[in-house]
Amino acid sequence: MRAPDLLQRLIRFNTVNPPGNEGEALAYLEGLLEEAGWECELLSGVPGRPNLVARLRGAGPGPNLALISHIDTVPADPAEWQRDPWSGDLVDGYVWGRGALDMKDQVAAETAACLALAESGWRPAGGDLLLVVAADEETGAHHGAKWLCETVPDKVRCDWVVNEGAGELVSMGDHRFFTLSVGEKGTFRFTIRASGVAGHGSIPGVGDNALLKLAPVLPRLRQQPPRESTPDTDRFLERLLGRVPGDLDAALAEIEAADPLLAKLLADPMLGVTLAPTMAGASDRENVIPSRAELVVDCRTPPGMTGDEALERIESIVGDGDWVIEFNDPVVGNRSDYEGPLADAIEAWVELTEPGTEVLPLVMPGFSDSHWFRKAFGATVFGFCPQTAMSLAETKPLVHGADERVAVADVELMENLFTWLPPRLLGTAAVPGSSGS
């Protein structure tokens, strides 16, 4: 089955998370893969939320390559869409539906490639090829990749991993680049909480209004902590600009002058800690002076930054006040070095597919399942799912948005990569009696 056809079928499984209901879609993929010769397991931490782990064993020992993805999606409001979000309609070269870009396109491309490889008779000469399609990524992976890596690590142990996170084709001057994610920023979301004394809203002088204590914070959060360089930002800027700049603000201005979207979406979030206030709460009655008020801020940090280091940056912006700061389930970001066989293979595919185009390694501002595989196994994990038919400007607003759709040409390009990559990394051992090589 070709990837675009499989994508249409997958979109028609409503896997909005919550509740997820990933089981039916994953059972469908399991059936296709088992028929092609794959060893498959559906592994669940809770009933009805399985993860698919499929394996094509090699003829001998060697490093394992995992192609990973997630099948769950965010919600969609049909009233906001031109087409049914779960139609999987194919119109004018685009497949429409929730998950078309995040990330059932990659699920379909990886699965179609794995089916084609097995049906051709290909087997790894050394090491195993794994296909991992997880549940629950959109709400924290507690029943998905995190659970797999922490609870049944031997089922998904691997050395190289390809996941979501990048692959757009971007330009800077006369140079073209495929983006590739080497890491994800940490998540150090925090709550700023103030306490006071409740009172009647008609007598402001009686209580001690906790909400007013937080009033100075919001204007301060219009600023961001100072920009910081890391080995990843240095490599990113060197490839993009041809040099490692000494002044990060000037470098960002130079990128913005050439391509404002590239600066806003890729460069700016990489260059240090970011702070975005997202939620606020106080009294639950309009006539009660609040005795408690809080403000939630989404804080993202460069890979490797600790909580103490993050707090130092946070306090440099919010300053002192009559409040406390508490982190909400913090996660230190991680990364992989951009080197070794997986990097070499991707560079080779890029040169074959788009001669003269370079790879632009970057750190994702968001978070993905890649984190859990790095943390559990020390694996080299890259986010790379190539697209050339749709631009960065087209795709970014559609991810988690209305009218999500993906170009068929891009899904076919993804399938090409995932068919080419495993034999390059794992070698070829033909199955006796097969028609493949």
Q: Residue 73's domain is classified under what CATH number?
A: 3.40.630.10
Instruction: Reduce the DSSP state of residue 23 to 3 states and report it.
Output: helix
The verdict on 319 and 341 lying in the same domain is: no
- Choosing from 327, 346, 371, the residue where a domain stops is 327
Tens-level pLDDT at each residue, the chain (437 residues): 999 999 999 999 999 999 999 999 999 999 999 999 999 999 999 998 999 999 999 999 999 999 999 999 999 999 999 999 999 999 999 999 999 999 999 999 999 999 999 999 999 999 999 999 999 999 999 999 999 999 999 999 999 999 999 999 999 999 999 999 999 999 999 999 999 999 999 999 889 999 999 999 999 999 999 999 999 999 999 999 999 999 999 999 999 999 999 999 999 999 999 999 999 999 999 999 999 999 999 999 999 999 999 999 999 999 999 999 999 999 999 999 999 999 999 999 999 999 999 999 999 999 999 999 999 999 999 999 999 999 999 999 999 999 999 999 999 999 999 999 999 999 998 665 544 43
Residues 91, 32: Cα–Cα separation, whole Å: 26
The verdict on 228 and 316 lying in the same domain is: yes
The verdict on 233 and 270 lying in the same domain is: yes
User: Is residue 89 exposed (0-12), middle (13-18) or buried (19+ Cβ within 10 Å)?
Assistant: middle
Domain membership flag for residue 380: yes
Beta bridge partners of 204: none
The verdict on 156 and 212 lying in the same domain is: no
Residue 129: its H or E element: strand 129-134
User: Is residue 205 exposed (0-12), middle (13-18) or buried (19+ Cβ within 10 Å)?
Assistant: exposed
- Choosing from 302, 327, 352, the residue where a domain stops is 327
Residues 72, 60: Cα–Cα separation, whole Å: 34
* Full domain range(s) for residue 279: 186-327
The verdict on 23 and 122 lying in the same domain is: yes
Residues 149, 237: Cα–Cα separation, whole Å: 33
Q: Residue 208's domain is classified under what CATH number?
A: 3.30.70.360
Residues 289, 217: Cα–Cα separation, whole Å: 19
The verdict on 418 and 273 lying in the same domain is: no
- Choosing from 327, 359, 385, the residue where a domain stops is 327
The verdict on 287 and 167 lying in the same domain is: no
Domain membership flag for residue 177: no
Domain count, the chain: 2
pTM of the predicted structure, to 2 decimals: 0.94
Domain membership flag for residue 432: no
